[in-house]
């Protein structure tokens, strides 16, 4: 089995944090327990997805604020916050606050573009400004500037008994270097590099120059680094769906394999007008998955991963999958446990 030139440096995982609408507390508690488990197992990072008007985490910043008080060293990330739903100034305040609470462990991942189903939601989201909202990269630049400490106002000083700052408070000096862009196109990869962000690449990319997923993803990584001030040292994290079965029961293995089988047809050709390509889910023993990863051209280009947990599994399934990633797959990727 070929070995990568460098061992895996950072091992992370991503969860959507599903919950029952009639009992949302249980699902949120399960997410927090999974993050705590990840820290005990030696993962470097835990990431949460962002879902609006669905039964998944709608406020990842709030969830990670809670997680910051139940963990001590695992990094905490969002993958990703769709910025079209957010006010950059208010989000900058929230991100900085959680980064302070976590003592510098926050890794905000973001993306731009109109909110999903915008025509149906805009009257509730932006009742007075729906047609004037700017969902371009300019919105992201506003957030980056505010997080990095550029002035938000031309007023500062003392007014009566109150003291005002001209920049977002609290200010967390290191947060600006831990901002990630979640991209699936050459344009987004280049933009993220040009603006000094880190780059999150997932199991979904846009088929622009090829219909081979690994080739597409590799081209995005290289384009990002070619435009980043840090060049080949610029940080990239890959987020494929990985389901090791070393300690799984026979029932779990059968269910995991069926889950992947149902999703495989969409990986054969580009999907929809946007020509989105999906990576196959990787199901098997840690040794089998490691071999498939080493054969993946884009994986060989990175030294950080945030493996995505499947959306619809049970808590006990996630415990088994995370445990096998940490104890079976991670060591085969050259990963030494954090801690």
For 76, the enclosing helix (H) or strand (E) is strand 75-82
Q: What is the pLDDT of residues 143-170, one digit of tens each?
A: 999 999 999 999 999 999 999 999 999 9
pLDDT on residue 323: 98
* Domains with residue ranges and CATH for the chain: 10-154+164-332 (3.20.20.30)
pTM strictly above 0.85? yes
Distance CA 265, CA 51 (A): 25
Distance CA 94, CA 169 (A): 9
Distance CA 52, CA 46 (A): 20
Q: What are phi and psi of 187, to 5 degrees?
A: -60, -45
Burial class (CB in 10 A: 0-12, 13-18, 19+), 25: exposed
Q: What is the pLDDT of residues 26-54, one digit of tens each?
A: 999 999 999 999 999 999 999 999 999 99
Q: How confident is the model at residue 2 (pLDDT cuts 50, 70, 90)?
A: very low
């Amino acid at each position: 089995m070929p070995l990568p030139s460098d061992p895996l440096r950072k091992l992370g995982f991503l969860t959507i944090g599903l919950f029952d609408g009639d009992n949302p507390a249980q699902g949120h508690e399960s997410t927090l327990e999974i993050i705590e488990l990840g820290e005990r197992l030696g993962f470097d990072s835990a990431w949460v997805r962002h879902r609006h008007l669905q039964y998944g985490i709608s406020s990842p910043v709030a969830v990670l604020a809670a997680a910051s008080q139940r963990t001590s060293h695992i990094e905490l990330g969002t993958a990703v916050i769709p910025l079209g739903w957010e006010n950059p100034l208010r989000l900058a305040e929230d991100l900085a606050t959680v980064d302070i609470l976590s003592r510098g462990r926050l890794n905000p991942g973001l993306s731009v573009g109109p909110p999903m189903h915008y025509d149906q939601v805009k009257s509730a989201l932006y009742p007075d400004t729906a047609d004037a909202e700017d969902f371009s990269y300019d919105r992201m630049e506003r957030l980056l500037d505010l997080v990095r400490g550029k002035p938000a106002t031309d007023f500062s000083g003392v007014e009566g008994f109150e003291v005002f700052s001209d920049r977002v408070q609290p200010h967390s000096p290191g947060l600006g270097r831990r901002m990630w862009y979640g991209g699936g196109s050459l344009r987004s990869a280049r933009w993220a590099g040009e603006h000094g962000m880190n780059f999150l690449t997932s199991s979904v990319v846009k088929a622009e120059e090829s219909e081979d997923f690994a080739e597409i993803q590799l081209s995005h990584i290289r384009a990002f680094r070619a435009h980043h001030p840090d060049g080949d040292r610029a940080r990239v994290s890959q987020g494929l769906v990985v389901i090791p079965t070393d300690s799984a029961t026979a029932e779990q293995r059968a269910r995991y394999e069926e889950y992947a089988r149902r999703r495989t047809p969409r990986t054969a050709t580009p999907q929809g007008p946007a020509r989105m390509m999906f990576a196959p889910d990787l199901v098997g023993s840690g040794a089998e998955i490691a071999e498939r990863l080493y054969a993946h051209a884009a994986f060989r280009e990175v030294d950080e991963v945030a493996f995505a947990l499947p959306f619809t599994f049970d808590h006990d399934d996630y415990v088994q999958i995370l445990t096998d990633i940490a104890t079976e797959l991670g060591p085969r990727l050259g990963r030494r446990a954090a801690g």
